[in-house]
Every structure is written in structure tokens, then in C-alpha cells.
Amino acid sequence: MNHRRRAFLQQMAALSGMGAAAPLAINFGALTDAAAQSAGSGYKALVCIFLNGGNDAFNTVLATDSTSWTHYAAHRTPADSSAGIALPVAGTAANSAAGNGDPARLGGILSIDHANRAVHSGRTFALHPALTGLRGLYQSGQAAVLANVGPLLSPTTKANYTNPTVAKPAKLFSHNDQQSTWQSFQPEGASEGWGGLMGDCLMAANGTSRNEVDAAIIRRSFTCMSPSGTSVWLAGKSVLPYQSGSSSVMSLGNGGKVYGQAAVFNAMAAVLGKASSDGSYAVPARNLLHADHQQVVQRALQAADLLGSGLVGQGVSPWGTTPSSGTYSPSTDPMLKYTSVVDGTQKLNSLALQLQMVARIIATNTVANLGLSRQFFMVSLGGFDTHDNQIRDHAERMLQLDHALTYFNLVLSGMPAGDMRSQVTTFTASEFGRTFTSNGDGTDHGWGAHQFIVGGAVNGTDVYGTFPQYSTADSKGVFSSPDQIENGSLIPSTSVDQYAYTLGKWMGVSHSDLSTMLPHIGAFSTTDLGFMKS
């Protein structure tokens, strides 16, 4: 690298704070090569489903042994309230005539098995009644639960939490800060996430089937991708998250035209540093910054062309339903619809649509010979900030999650390259759990929560980590359980670092790299939680 190019890169490094906020896949990372380690043979992908708003773990995975249920009912069906948020016991028949805010409308919770490890001896568990498909995956060994996970600096007791001299994660209970902390171990403003840092380590194995120029674009742009907006989780030091749309790849214009006009395309191309469609205009290299900026933008636009030109269609099996006539529309595809608990109608599932795009990108890797060996994807579902209307709104979100996960499992089982369920692992995350106590018909911000891991490589049908002990608050609102603080919120017993380590190890990231990128992993005696097959 000559000194002029090095000087330019140093200038651009000063802009790296843009991180995941860089617009429309204008990827400044396209200039340099980065490679740390081989990803090994075979394709693997990690898909994060982020549940924005703070998912209520207490009504997602439930402890149903008699002691736990007594405490659960005491706080979620308060004697002085007719609007309790406790779910019906297992075996309760659904009452379709009940109001959409009435727990009876859903029917009983869904009992699940577990391996009866010593830490869970005598405990029994169940899932939210809307999670019928996920329960099937769990019972068949293709899904697991990770109990009570959250951001931690070190193992934290109740005494630690109340001791102001003991360090704790910054800005607990804040949506934006805890979303960022989950994804990057820092409050809002971080520029690198652990998914992107893992991508940095594994990107060397990507694009090996293509020429040098294409390979550089593929490594930097397609290692970490999202169809639902940018995120710090996907941003690394070298890789930057590539944002597609949920149905198509964003690019400059369409067929060499913008608003149907080639002249408008040519004018915009000139500004962006891309040669015009008729070859009549190219920006001259007047100086170092101008020339290198032109090269960066051209490569960003080439990334859109590279992926967009080979992207497989939507209305194609296994991820879509071929229309009998006319143009395919996701809004009319029955595969992408779920039945709403609110009004009983079929609605387009935005999460399933995002996962459809993930599946199409994975298939395009083979069709377009992109040579991708390791990929990281992030999709999201909002609406989990259930301060009120908990039963109705949380059930709607659970229906969407359940439908999307079972849809994605079906799609992966029939991919053009064969069954890919053991090569793609999907996991959930959310900025925090919620309170054990009800505020009437909702819950407030908590800390620890339970998460799901789904895929053929999962050691399923078990609850990993340590499920918390519940208690009932005394007259002063104090909980006797060592796991519960104000309003019954959970102190996490498992850290995000441990969660990330286990997933990263499966992806092929080395212990030394994981120990470097996961800032608190050294504080925990157990790094691999065991929910992934070796």
C-alpha cells in the first residue's frame, strides 16, 4: 500500500463512527482486505432475531412447578385487579368467544420436556400458548431455551446489585442503551458489534470462487447482512453491514434509469462517482480524496449490482408461493401470513418476509457462485414494549415469532442446495426482559430474560443456563428470591458474552479471538454453554 493510499485510509478511519449508520450500503470497507482465520469447510450462517421493546420472558417460557406457579399467579393475577396477565394452565381449552385481551382466548400454556439436569431438578416448564410450532421444534430436538440471559460484567448476586461500589452494566432499563449493549457490550453510540467482529475473523473464506475485485466486495459487503435496517451487531472493524430491502436489493435506479429517465440516472451517477449508463461521463481523478472516494462509491454500487443481478425470485418454492396469474406479491402469499389473535384475520408477517429475503440471499450464494462460506444476518420484530394490553399485544408478537420460525425451518429444509437446517442457526435476543409484577394490564422494563436457539445443529429439548427461582413480594415489595430485584425483575445468571461465545464457537471463531472480542468472558468459568453441537 503506498503512502498516498494509506493517508486516505487514515482520513476515512476518522469517519468510522458512522458505523452501522452509513447510508444505503455505501460501504467504505470495500477498499481493504482483511482476513484472520479460515472459516473451515462448508457453509454456516447465524441469524439473529431481535425482539425490539423488551420481550416479557415470564409469559414466554414459564416455570410450572407448583411453587413457581403459586408465585407467578400471585403477581400476574392480582386479587385487586380484574385485568390479570397470568396465562391459563396447560390443558385449558381456548375460548374463541373471549375478548382479545382475555387470557382465556388463548387456551393453556404448552408443556415442554427438559433433560432434568441437577440445576433444574423438580422444575417443570411450558411455553406461551401461541408458540405451537416452536414447541414442535423444541420437542423434536431442533430448538432449545437459554434461561435468564442478559448483559453482565461478571457473575452478579443480589448483594452486588444493591452495592453501589460494584460495577454493573451502564444504563440498565433504557431501550436504546440496552439494545446497543446486547449487540456491542456498550451503551448507545458503539460502532462495532460482536456479530461484525466475528465476521471480521471469518471473512477470509468468503468470495474465494470469484476474481479479486468481486471477492473484496463479497467479503466486506456480504459477510454481514440485514433486510430490516442497519444494526451495530453486524458492524465490524473491516466488514460493514449490507442493508438490502425485505424484497429486493437497493441500487441506483432501475435498468440505467432513475424515475424512468436515463438523464437523471446519469446525473446522479456523476455525483456518486459511477460511470454513466452510456459511458459518456466518468469523474476525473483530480486529487487523492476525489479519486479514492470515487473508487469506494463505485465498489459500493458494484456490490448492489453483484447481488441484485443474481438474486433469486420471491414467488419460488420453497420460500414463496408461485402466483397462479399476475405478479407475485408478498402480501397475498399464504406462506407469509399468520392468523391474528386480534381479529382472526390472515395478516402479512413482516418477520417471515425478512426471513424470506435471508433464504433468498443464501440461495443466491450458490446460484450466483458468490463463494460465501460464513454469513451473519439480523432481522427484527417490534412491539414488545408491553406496558399495557399485555395479553393481546404479546400474544400477537408470539404468533408472529412462532409463524416466522416454523416458516424458516420449512424453507431451510427444502433449499435448492439441499436441507440447510444444520447449517443455519437462528437465535433470539431482546434488550431486556420485563417485571414479574403486573402494572394492571401490562409490565415494565426488567433485565434478564429467556431466549430461543433454533436449528439442526442445536442440542435441543432442553433449558440451558439456570432458570430463576420465583418468590412473592412482602408488604414492602421486597422479593426473597436471590434472582429477583425491584418488581420481580431478574438478575441474569448467564451473560450475553457466554451466549455469544457459544454461537461464535459453532461458527468457527477461535477461542483466542472470542476471548478478545467478548470483553467480559474471562469473568465466567463456563464459556461454552453446550446448546450447540460440535
Cα–Cα distance, 108 to 117 (Å, whole number): 26
Amino acid 249: pLDDT: 86
Residue with more model confidence, 255 or 156? 156
Query: Whole-angstrom Cα distance, residue 277 to residue 264?
Result: 11
The DSSP 8-state label assigned to residue 523 in this structure reads G
- Determine the pLDDT at residue 230: 83
Q: How far apart are CA 365 and CA 356, in angstroms?
A: 14
The kind and range of the H/E element at 507 are helix 496-507
pLDDT attached to residue 278: 54
pLDDT at 182 over 60: yes
Residues 111-159 have pLDDT tens digits of 999 999 999 999 999 999 999 999 999 999 999 999 999 999 999 999 9
Q: Containing H/E element for 387?
A: none
Model pLDDT, residue 308: 87
What mean pLDDT is predicted for residues 178-185? 98
Sign of CA dihedral 378, 358, 127, 101: positive
Whether the per-residue pLDDT at 306 is higher than 60: the answer is: yes
Which residue type sits at 461?
A: T
- The owner of cell 450466483 is 368
pLDDT of residue 83: 60
Contacts of 259 (CB under 8 A, 6+ apart): none
Query: What pTM was estimated for this model as a whole?
Result: 0.89
Per-domain residue ranges for the chain?
Answer: 45-180+350-357+374-523
- Is 70 exceeded by the pLDDT of residue 28? no
